[in-house]
Amino acid sequence: MTTQIKLLRGRVLSFTAEPQGPDDTDAYSYLEDGAILIADGRILATGDHDTLAVQAAGAEIIDHRPNLLMAGLIDTHIHYPQVQVIASWGAQLLDWLNTYTFPAETRFADSDHSAAMARHFYDQLIAHGTTTAVAYCSVHRASADAYFAEAERRGMRMIGGKVLMDRNAPEGLRDTPQTGYDDSKALIADWHSKGRLSYAVTPRFAITSTPAQLELAGALVAEHPDCYVQTHLSENHAEIAYTAELYPQAPDYLGVYEHFGLLTPKSLLGHAIHLTPREIGLLAETGAKPVFCPTSNLFLGSGLFDDAGLRGHGITNAIATDVGAGTSYSMLQTLNEGYKVLQLQGQNLHPLRAFHWITRGNAVALGLQDRIGTLAAGTEADIIVLNARATDAMALRMQCATTLSEELFVLQMMGDDRAIDQVYVAGTAMKPSDNAQRQQV
Ligand code: GUN
Ligand code: ZN
C-alpha cells in the first residue's frame, strides 16, 4: 500500500531548546514560508516551502498560510472522568472532591459510560489542539480500558492509569491494595507500549491510599520502571495537614512518596505548591517533575506555584490543565492564567518560553522530546495550526502586532479552541473543516 504524502505549508515555528529570554532567537527555528513533509505518521522534513516542494511529487499540498504551524500541545495532568465536573461551584480541594468529583467518578464503573465520556474527552482535547495528555482514569479498570481504547482508535500518543484509592472515598470508588495492584498489572500488560500508549502508575494521593497500597504501588514502579508515575502533592493546606495525620512518621508530604519508592524522573507530581526546603531538595535529587496547574490552582484557591523558585534548584516543571478542577481544556488559556499566577509573584512568563513549555518543554518533562513536541524530522507528525486572528478582538489586536513574540502573546492571552484551525495526529487531520487550501500535485 502506498501512503499519501502530505506537504503542509504555512508559517512554521519549532523549538530546539528552552528560550533563555524574550529575545532568544537561537532557541527556535521560524520559517515565514515554511513547510512540513509528512508520510506514514512521521515528519520526513521541515524546511522552506520552495525547497521541500521539489521533493513533494505526488503529495497532497495543504496550504495553511497565513496561519502558524507548531507541534501539537501536550497536557501533563488531566482527569478524564471529570469532564462533567468542570465548573462545579464553591469549594476548596477536599470538599470539592467529596461533593462533586467522587460522585461523578463512581459512574465510571459502567463501561458504556466510560466509553461515551472517553469519546467526549478526546473530542475536547482535539478541539483545543492537545495531541498528547497524561490522564487519571477512575478507580475502575473499565475506565482505563475505555481511555486507552479510544486513544488507540484515534492514533494518539497518550499516557494514563487507573487511580489507586483504598480509603477516604465512598463505596464504589475504593479498590484494595491487592485488586489495585492486580488491575494495574493487567492494564500495563494490555496497554503499556501498545502503539503510542504508555501506562502511569497512579496512586491518587496520600490521603486516599493506605500504607499497604502505597507499598504495592512502589512494587509496581519497581517492576515496571519504564512506566510513568502520577500523583498529587501539596496542593492545599488542609490536604497537607490531613496527610501529616495519616502518615505521622513521614518527615513531610513528599517523604510519604519517597518512602514507598514512588519518586523517579518519570514521576509527575500535580500542583506541588506548598513545599518545604527538604521537599524541594528531594525533587531536585530524584528528578521527579512538579506540574503547574494554574487554572485549577486559582479555581480551588489552592495557592501560587513558585515556578522560578523550583527552576532555580534545577527542577524541570511541567504545565497542565488539571480539568476538572482546571477550568479550561485549552493549554493557551492555561498559559494565560499561568502568566497571571507568576505575575502575582513578580515572575514573568514570556511568550517564547510559554509556547516552548506547552510543546517541547512538556515533552522534555515526559522524556519524549525525540518523538513529540517539535517539528524535527523523524518525529511523530502531531501538528497544530494556530490562527491569531480567530476572533474579532484578536484580529483587532493583531493589527498592531509586528513581531512573532507579540503574535504568540496574543495567542497566549486571548487564544482558546477558536484559535486552533486544524490538528494533525500522526499526520491525519482531525478537525472536519479548516481554512486551508488543498491541492494534489
Ligand atoms: N487531589 C486528589 N485528587 C484530586 C483531583 O481529582 N483533582 C485535584 N485538583 N486534586 C486532587
Ligand atoms: Zn489533578
Residue 101 Cβ inside 6 Å of ligand 1? The answer reads yes
Q: Which ligand is nearest to the CA of 77?
A: 2
- Average confidence (pLDDT) per 10 residues, the chain, 441 residues: 84 98 95 98 98 93 98 99 97 97 98 98 98 98 98 98 98 97 98 98 98 98 98 98 98 98 98 98 98 98 98 98 98 98 98 98 98 98 98 98 97 98 98 93 80
Query: How confident is the model at residue 1, as a pLDDT?
Result: 45
Query: How confident is the model at residue 2, as a pLDDT?
Result: 54
Q: Give 261 Cα–ligand 1 centroid separation in angstroms.
A: 21
Q: Give 209 Cα–ligand 2 centroid separation in angstroms.
A: 15
d(CA 330, CA 415): 8
Distances (CA, A) of 26 to 29, 316, 317, 318: 8, 20, 22, 22
Q: At 381, is the secondary structure helix, strand, or coil?
A: coil
Q: Which atom of ligand 1 is nearest to the CA of 235?
A: 10
d(CA 300, CA 92): 5
Q: Give 270 Cα–ligand 2 centroid separation in angstroms.
A: 6
Written as nine digits, the cell of 129 is 489542539
Q: Which atom of ligand 1 is nearest to the CA of 207?
A: 2
Q: Give 93 Cα–ligand 1 centroid separation in angstroms.
A: 7
Instruction: Ligand 1 pocket test: pick from 84, 138, 207, 235 the residue with the most ligand atoms within 8 Å of its Cβ.
Output: 235
Residue 77 Cβ inside 6 Å of ligand 1? The answer reads no
Q: Whose CA is nearest to atom 7 of ligand 1?
A: 325
Q: Give 361 Cα–ligand 1 centroid separation in angstroms.
A: 23
DSSP notation for 54-117: HT-TTPEEEEEEEEEEEEPEEEEEEEGGGTTTSS--S--HHHHIIIIIHHHHHGGGSHHHHHHH
Q: Whose CA is nearest to atom 11 of ligand 1?
A: 232
Q: Which atom of ligand 1 is nearest to the CA of 296?
A: 9
Q: Are 101 and 84 in contact (CB under 8 A)?
A: no
Q: Which atom of ligand 1 is nearest to the CA of 293?
A: 9
Q: Give 407 Cα–ligand 1 centroid separation in angstroms.
A: 34
d(CA 120, CA 140): 18
Q: Give 236 Cα–ligand 1 centroid separation in angstroms.
A: 10
* Angle, CA of 211, 215 and 220, to the nearest 5°: 145
Query: How confident is the model at residue 68, as a pLDDT?
Result: 98
Q: Which atom of ligand 1 is nearest to the CA of 205?
A: 2
Q: Which ligand is nearest to the CA of 326?
A: 1
Q: Which of 158, 87, 88 is nearest to 121 (CA)?
A: 158
